[in-house]
């Protein structure tokens, strides 16, 4: 079985996949892994090539748009060790087009689709549970700690929705941020983060939302289990409404 190596970047991976799919008669029979730079590592190294990677990805987008977006979400999961599955998935995408995602009994397809689905589910969740706070200079700031690296697609969503405002989304774990300023979106790393001061009216608006959150629940239908299944507790940290406040108080206030 031929073994290939790449440098660990998405461009490297795409370039390697392009090479292997063009050269190998049966991509199912080869393996691909990230190079670890040990002396005795066996395998053929394929150098990253942004040009080849882009051409390859554009071809994928043309021939199997669903598979291309599945691949994109998969890369946001930052999952190591599934390079061979990914290679096989890409090869199958060119063979079957978008139908490939239905081939769930194939182990490689299942690996890739399952992880990709988790990412898109988390992205969708954050479109709802991200909370902005108004800062003193009039811009808005949202902080989050998602499991996957969803900053880019999430920022794209808000760039269409909150067009007229200036805002930041800060991924606390990855120390990356998106900035929307006068209609231009930038992504970058944040060296050091100091929480800026909130605008004066902010606490008042937050209190309104908290008041609404409490009174919209029907006391006779209290159901914390369903609340947590819709909105797992790991996401509660940055929620303005502070769910669970009433759990500590025992019964819901009428």
Partner 1 sequence: METLEKLQILSGAARYDASCASSGSRRENTACVIGNTSRGGICHSWSDDGRCISLLKILLSNDCVYDCAYCVNRSSNSVPRASFTAREVVDLTMEFYRRNYIEGLFLSSAVMQSPDQTMERMVTVAETLRLEERFGGYIHLKIIPGSSSELVRRAGLHADRISVNIELPSHDSLKRLAPQKGKQAIIEPMSLIGKEIRHSLVERRTSRCAPRFAPAGQSTQMIIGASPESDFQILRLSEGLYRKMSLKRVYYSAFVPVNEDSRLPVLAAPPLLREHRLYQADWLLRFYGFSVSEILSDDAPNLDESFDPKTAWALRHPEFFPVEINRADYATLLRVPGIGVTSARRIVAARRFSVITPEGLKKIGVVMKRARYFITCSGRPFEKTDRQPALLRSRLLPGDGGAAAVTEQSGQLLLPGLFV
Indicate which single residue of 140, 168, 170, 180 sits in contact with partner 1 (rule: CB under 8 A): 140
Establish if 207 lies at the interface with partner 1 (CB under 8 A): yes
Establish if 247 lies at the interface with partner 1 (CB under 8 A): yes
Establish if 217 lies at the interface with partner 1 (CB under 8 A): yes
Q: Which of 183, 171, 164, 124 is nearest to 144 (CA)?
A: 171
Establish if 164 lies at the interface with partner 1 (CB under 8 A): yes
**Could you tell me which stretch among 33-41, 43-51, 69-77, 121-129 binds partner 1 (CB under 8 A)?**
121-129
Region class of 106: left (phi > 0), else alpha (psi between -120 and 50), else beta: beta
Establish if 211 lies at the interface with partner 1 (CB under 8 A): yes
Establish if 182 lies at the interface with partner 1 (CB under 8 A): no
At its nearest, how many Å lie between partner 1 and the CB of residue 130? 5
Classify strands 132-134 and 140-144 as parallel, antiparallel or unpaired: antiparallel
Q: Is 22 or 226 the residue whose CB approaches partner 1 more closely?
A: 226
Please provide the size of the chain in residues.
Answer: 254
Q: Which of 249, 233, 239, 248 is nearest to 213 (CA)?
A: 239
At its nearest, how many Å lie between partner 1 and the CB of residue 189? 24
Q: Is 35 or 110 the residue whose CB approaches partner 1 more closely?
A: 110
Establish if 165 lies at the interface with partner 1 (CB under 8 A): yes
Rounded Cα–Cα distance for residues 152 and 132 (Å): 17
End-to-end CA gap in the chain: 68
Establish if 130 lies at the interface with partner 1 (CB under 8 A): yes
Indicate which single residue of 22, 47, 156, 162 sits in contact with partner 1 (rule: CB under 8 A): 162
Yes or no: say if 115 and 77 are a contact pair by the CB < 8 Å rule: yes
Rounded Cα–Cα distance for residues 179 and 85 (Å): 34
Establish if 184 lies at the interface with partner 1 (CB under 8 A): no
Q: Report the run of H or E that residue 140 belongs to, with start and end.
A: strand 140-144
Per-position x/- string for 85-104, each x denoting binding to partner 1 as judged by CB under 8 A, each - no binding? -----------x--x-xxxx
Rounded Cα–Cα distance for residues 65 and 204 (Å): 46
Classify strands 176-181 and 167-171 as parallel, antiparallel or unpaired: antiparallel
Q: Is 179 or 222 the residue whose CB approaches partner 1 more closely?
A: 222
Rounded Cα–Cα distance for residues 248 and 15 (Å): 54
Indicate which single residue of 36, 80, 160, 192 sits in contact with partner 1 (rule: CB under 8 A): 160
CA 222 vs CA 70, 112, 218, 236: distances in Å: 38, 38, 7, 18
Interacting residues toward partner 1 by CB under 8 A: 96, 99, 101-106, 110, 121, 124, 127-134, 140, 142, 158, 160-165, 205, 207-209, 211-231, 239-241, 243, 246-247, 252
């Amino acid at each position: 079985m031929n073994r290939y190596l790449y440098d660990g970047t998405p461009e490297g991976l795409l370039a390697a996949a392009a090479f292997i799919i063009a050269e190998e008669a049966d991509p199912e029979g080869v393996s691909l892994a990230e190079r670890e730079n040990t002396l005795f590592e066996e395998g053929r190294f394929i150098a990253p090539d942004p040009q080849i990677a882009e051409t390859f990805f554009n071809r994928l987008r043309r021939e199997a748009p669903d598979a291309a977006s599945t691949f994109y979400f998969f890369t946001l999961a930052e999952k190591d060790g599934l390079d061979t599955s990914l290679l096989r998935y890409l090869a199958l995408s060119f063979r079957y087009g978008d139908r490939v995602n239905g081939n769930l009994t194939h182990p490689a397809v299942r690996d890739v689709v399952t992880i990709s689905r988790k990412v898109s589910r988390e992205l969708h969740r954050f479109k709802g549970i991200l909370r902005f706070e108004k800062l003193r200079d009039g811009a808005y700031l949202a902080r989050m700690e998602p499991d996957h690296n969803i900053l880019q697609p999430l920022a794209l969503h808000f760039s269409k929705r909150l067009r007229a405002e200036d805002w930041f989304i800060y991924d606390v774990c990855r120390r990356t941020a998106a900035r929307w300023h006068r209609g231009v979106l930038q992504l970058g790393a944040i060296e050091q983060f100091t929480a800026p001061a909130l605008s004066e009216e902010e606490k008042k608006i937050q209190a309104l939302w908290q008041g609404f959150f409490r009174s919209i629940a029907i006391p006779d239908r209290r159901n914390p289990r369903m609340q947590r299944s819709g909105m797992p507790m790991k996401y509660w940290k940055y929620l303005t409404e502070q769910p669970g406040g009433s759990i500590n108080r025992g019964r819901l206030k009428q």
